[in-house]
């Protein structure tokens, strides 16, 4: 079976995107790491992927992209048909109207290829550095989200009437030609409920298996239905570690050589209140990731991703491909996913 032509949106297969964290590996500085991320996105378009999502982190080398929106703008200029999204822009660190203006700008100049995903983030030192404060992360997050949605609704003017964002009516320039879609990263029940009540699709992370993701989407559907929304409409996105090799043993060996050092960089997070952050058992977490994600021969990857779609109902997948560390290996992984996995994915039933 041959691959679909790039950009061919077959109705019987899910949309499949790359998920780039721009993680720093040994031997690469920050600029080189970001350059590699650009190369991976360009390679994804050539390999037939539908889009790419960009992570955003501050003050840690686990991911060296501090502005997913800025990098998305660059990649939209470097590609022709690829959708480019943020997974996710950290909303408490930004004024929601400023973020909405940038999203509307990128949507306009890219011909509608930009997808905005936002997240609550964590209680990290970012909140201190950017002057947002811990309340913007906790009680203020729903207000910030609602201001963002109002600014992207297509209405000619907006105003802020809440405790965190209070301002006179101002025109939206550029004004979105249509209500712009927004995805919400959710790892907790309150955030799932927040998304469901507003009809926003979810960005589902890599840390849980398909059964847990299905439970999250069941909760979403119940909450959305109770709020009078169509629970079947949102295009949820499920993230996965993906690595193709000739055998499971080969894939796991290569990832075990690189992933622990990269995952350890998450310990660079600093909590805004000065308390020590909780740390995962990295060996156990790595075993967990390898057990639940598409890692190994192509047919195994196809089976696992097809199973994800069937179990969760998620209509879109994003594959994290950088885990082998070496650029040549990552580019080869992207090519193999494009030729050996994507053409064989199908929506069951």
Digit-by-digit pLDDT tens for the chain (349 residues) are 233 334 445 567 899 999 999 999 999 999 999 999 999 999 999 999 999 999 999 999 999 999 999 999 999 999 999 999 999 999 999 999 999 999 999 999 999 999 999 999 999 999 999 999 999 999 999 999 999 999 999 999 999 999 999 999 999 999 998 898 999 999 999 999 999 999 999 999 999 999 999 999 999 999 999 999 999 999 999 999 999 999 999 999 999 999 999 999 999 999 999 998 888 899 999 999 999 999 999 999 999 999 999 999 998 999 999 999 999 999 999 999 999 999 999 875 4
How far apart, in Å, are the Cα atoms of 9 and each of 109, 138, 202, 342? 22, 39, 21, 12
Distance, in Å, from the CA atom of 27 to the CA atom of 14, rounded to the nearest integer, reads 36
The β-bridge partners of 243 are 295
CA distance 162 to 268: 34
* SS3 assignment, position 158: strand
CA 342 to chain centre: 19
Could you tell me the CA-to-CA distances from 32 to 24, 29, 45, 235, 327 in Å, in that order?
Answer: 9, 5, 20, 33, 10
DSSP strand pairing (243-244 vs 114-119): unpaired
Contact 117, 184 (CB under 8 A): yes
Q: Which residues contact 125 (CB under 8 A, 6 or more apart)?
A: 59, 270, 271, 272
3-state secondary structure 62-116: CCCCCCHHHHHHHHHHHCCCCEEEECCEEHHHCCHHHHHHHHHHHHHHCCCCEEE
Sign (positive or negative) of CA dihedral 266, 190, 133, 150: positive
Q: Find how far residue 103's CA is from the centre of its chain.
A: 16
pTM above 0.85, yes or no: yes
Question: Which residues have CB under 8 Å from 111's CB, separation 6+?
Answer: none
Q: What is the pLDDT of residue 89?
A: 98
Question: How high is the pLDDT of residue 2?
Answer: 32
Q: Residues 318, 82: contact at Cβ < 8 Å?
A: no
For residue 322 the two structure tokens come to 């950088």
Say what the pLDDT of residue 10 is: 56
Q: Which CATH architecture has domain 15-344?
A: Alpha-Beta Barrel (3.20)
Cβ neighbour number for residue 70 with a 10 Å cutoff: 15
85 close to 20: Cβ distance less than 8 angstroms: no
The C-alpha torsion from 188 through 191 and 192 to 194, rounded to 10°, is 160
């Amino acid at each position: 079976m041959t691959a679909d032509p790039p950009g061919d949106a077959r109705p019987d297969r899910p949309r499949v995107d790359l998920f780039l964290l721009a993680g720093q590996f040994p031997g690469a500085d920050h600029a080189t790491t970001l350059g590699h991320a650009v190369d991976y996105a360009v390679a994804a378009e050539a390999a037939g992927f539908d889009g790419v999502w960009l992570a955003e982190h501050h003050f840690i080398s686990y991911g060296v992209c501090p502005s997913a929106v800025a990098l998305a703008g660059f990649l939209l200029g470097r590609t022709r048909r690829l959708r480019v999204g943020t997974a996710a822009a950290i909303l408490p660190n930004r004024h929601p109207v400023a973020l909405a203006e940038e999203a509307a700008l990128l949507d306009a100049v890219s011909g509608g290829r930009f997808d905005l995903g936002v997240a609550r983030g964590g209680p990290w030192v970012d909140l201190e550095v950017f002057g947002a404060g811990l309340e913007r992360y906790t009680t203020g997050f729903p207000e910030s989200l609602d201001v963002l949605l109002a600014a992207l609704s297509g209405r000619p003017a907006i105003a802020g009437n809440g405790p965190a964002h209070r301002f006179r009516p101002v025109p939206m320039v550029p004004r979105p030609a249509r209500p712009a879609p927004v995805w919400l990263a959710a790892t907790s029940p309150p955030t799932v409920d927040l998304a469901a009540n507003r009809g926003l699709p979810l960005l589902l992370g890599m840390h849980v298996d398909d059964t847990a993701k299905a439970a999250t989407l069941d909760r979403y559907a119940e909450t959305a239905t109770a709020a009078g929304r169509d629970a079947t409409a949102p295009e949820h996105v499920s993230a996965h570690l993906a690595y193709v090799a000739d055998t499971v043993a080969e894939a796991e060996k290569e990832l075990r050589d690189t992933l622990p050092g990269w995952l350890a960089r998450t310990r660079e997070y600093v909590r805004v209140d000065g308390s020590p952050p909780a740390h995962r058992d990295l060996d156990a977490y790595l075993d967990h990731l390898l057990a639940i994600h598409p890692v190994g021969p192509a047919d195994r990857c196809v089976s696992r991703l097809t199973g994800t779609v069937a179990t969760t109902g998620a209509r879109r997948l994003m594959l994290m491909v950088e885990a082998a560390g070496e650029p040549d290996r990552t580019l080869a992984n992207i090519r193999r996913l494009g030729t050996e996995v994507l053409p064989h994915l199908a929506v069951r039933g």
